[in-house]
Structures are given as C-alpha cells and as structure tokens.
C-alpha cells in the first residue's frame, strides 16, 4: 500500500470542524474528504489529519495522509479528488511519503493566523473570516505582548478549562502582529497547540490592544496558569491553519 500525503485548503464556515463525527450526520471536512477518496480509489479510505480544527475554522495548509492500493499517479490526485469535492475544500498538493509518515505525529511545527477587522462598521465580505473589533487598538502594545509569548512556557492558563492533556508546556517559535488597512493579523508558530490556545492568546492580545492589560502583564499571566486570568476566547471564524511543517531543522532562536 502507498502512503499518500495531501495538503488541503478549506473554508470551514459550513462544517462542524475537521474531525469526522461518526454516527451524528454532521458535515465535517474529514468526512467529506473520505467520501470523495472512497469514490476515487474504490476502497475504504480513512484519513489521518495533522490535527483538528473547530467548527468555523479555516485552513490553507492542513495536512492529511492515507494508505491506498490505488495505482493512480500521485501527481493526478489533486485534480481527480477536487472534481469530487465541494468548492469549499481543495487539495492543493499530493505526494507519496514513507510508510512511517504520520500527519499528526510526524509534525514538528504548525503556524496559525487570526484575523481582526478593525473598523466602526464591519465589512460583510469579511464576516466569515475575521472578528469585528469596532474600537481603536494599540498595535505597539500588542506587538510588545507578542514577544513575551515566544519561547517555552506552561500554557495551562491559555487553553480551554476542560482540556484533559497532562503536559501543558509548548514552545512558541514565532509570534507577531501585522496591520494591513483595516485588518490586523496575529500569526504564531509553535511545536504544538492546546485546545483553544491560539484563540485565547489572540483574545489576550486584543485586550492588551484595548488597554485592559499592559503588555508587560503577559509574563505574569503565564506564571499564574489560571484560565480566568487570561483573555477571552476569540470566535472561530477569524482563525486559519496556515501550514504544518515536518522538517527536522528549525532555528533554535525564536523570533
């Protein structure tokens, strides 16, 4: 059997997240992709995702892999699968990978972006892809706060309170803020993320930008390790999984 790796982009607006929810009838990215693959390969084709994205969350670089006996040339997979998928899901790339490649466990880093639309009136064309913030933001303070999230920290206070993992330590390699006209984009790269972690970091940065916390308080919030001390959980529509990196090498110095 061949191990095939796919890179996907999708608009998550009308899906109940990435992960299939067997027996519920709910539409998911994974379920839709598996159905298309089973038609194409004429075999049951469960896929392994690099991670879950929640309902309403988007992706430009989600990665999955699956095993198949199909002899379809790998370079033909994107065009063939896309003909069977709705327009909200696109396979961007396909490649054959070693048998031990695992979309989730082989991943070294992920990069997410959260988009804010900062204007008194919301642009309706951004309503599914950004969170509306009608008040002025202090970008300089938000950028200072970004720096303090970089490095290895216990993010117990920056994940959903019902998170059941045992290890809350994660390394953030890059964390930055950029403004383009009325859009503010917060981008973060890490070795892994806890449930709702990016949305809570984003919510905390937003509160810094609104003057509710000084940037310097981020260090103290990390040390508190209390969910109620951090900022709000931003809604899902502004979040996008940009890429998943499988390369071993990465600069030791965070930036």
Q: Tell me, yes or no, whether 79 and 196 share the same domain.
A: no
Q: Smallest Cα–Cα separation from 36: which of 76, 73, 77, 94?
A: 77
SS3 of residue 94 by DSSP: strand
Q: Tell me, yes or no, whether 88 and 130 share the same domain.
A: no
SS3 of residue 53 by DSSP: coil
Is 58 inside a domain boundary?
Answer: yes
Which CATH number do you get for residue 210?
3.30.70.660
Per the structure, the complete domain to which residue 223 belongs is given by: 109-245
Of 29, 63, 97, which one is at a domain's C-terminal end? 97
Q: Tell me, yes or no, whether 93 and 118 share the same domain.
A: no
Q: Tell me, yes or no, whether 121 and 228 share the same domain.
A: yes
Q: Tell me, yes or no, whether 240 and 116 share the same domain.
A: yes
CB 197 within 8 A of CB 53: no
Residue 64 pLDDT: 98
Is 103 inside a domain boundary?
Answer: no
What secondary structure does DSSP assign to 158-219, as a single string? GS-TT---S--EEEEEEEEEEEETTEEEEEEEES---TTHHHHHHHHHHHHHTTSS-TTHHH
Is 61 inside a domain boundary?
Answer: yes
Is 251 inside a domain boundary?
Answer: no
Q: Tell me, yes or no, whether 51 and 175 share the same domain.
A: no
Q: Tell me, yes or no, whether 241 and 190 share the same domain.
A: yes
Q: Tell me, yes or no, whether 50 and 139 share the same domain.
A: no
CB 108 within 8 A of CB 248: yes
pTM here is: 0.94
Q: Where does 55-141 show beta strands of DSSP type E?
A: 58-68, 89-97, 109-118, 131-133
pLDDT tier at 255, thresholds 50, 70, 90 = very low
Q: Tell me, yes or no, whether 197 and 232 share the same domain.
A: yes
Q: Which residues are catalytic?
A: 54
Is 173 inside a domain boundary?
Answer: yes
Cα diameter, the chain: 58
Summarised one tens digit per residue, pLDDT across range 8-31 is: 999 999 999 999 988 888 999 999
Domain count, the chain: 2
Summarised one tens digit per residue, pLDDT across range 196-215 is: 999 999 999 999 999 999 99
């Amino acid at each position: 059997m061949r191990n095939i790796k796919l890179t996907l982009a999708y608009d998550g607006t009308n899906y109940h997240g990435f992960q299939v929810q067997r027996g519920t009838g709910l539409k998911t990215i994974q379920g839709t992709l598996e159905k298309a693959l089973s038609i194409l390969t004429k075999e049951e084709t469960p896929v392994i995702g690099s991670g879950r994205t929640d309902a309403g969350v988007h992706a430009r670089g989600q990665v999955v892999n699956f095993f198949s006996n199909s002899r379809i040339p790998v370079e033909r997979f994107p065009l063939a699968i896309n003909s069977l998928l709705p327009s909200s899901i696109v396979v961007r790339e396909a490649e054959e990978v070693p048998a031990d490649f695992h979309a989730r466990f082989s991943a070294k880093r992920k990069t997410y972006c959260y988009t804010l639309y900062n204007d008194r009136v919301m642009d309706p064309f951004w309503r599914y892809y950004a969170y509306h913030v009608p008040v002025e933001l202090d970008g300089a303070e938000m950028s200072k706060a970004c720096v303090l999230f970089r490095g290895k920290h216990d993010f117990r206070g920056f994940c959903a309170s019902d998170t059941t993992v045992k290890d809350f330590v994660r390394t953030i390699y890059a964390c930055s803020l950029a403004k383009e006209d009325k859009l503010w984009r917060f981008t973060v790269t890490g070795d892994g993320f806890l449930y709702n972690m990016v949305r809570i970091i984003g919510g905390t940065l937003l509160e810094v930008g609104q003057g509710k916390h000084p940037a310097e308080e981020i260090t103290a919030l990390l040390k508190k390790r209390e969910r109620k001390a951090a900022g709000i959980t931003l809604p899902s529509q502004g979040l996008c999984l940009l890429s998943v990196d499988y390369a071993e090498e990465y600069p030791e110095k965070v930036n």
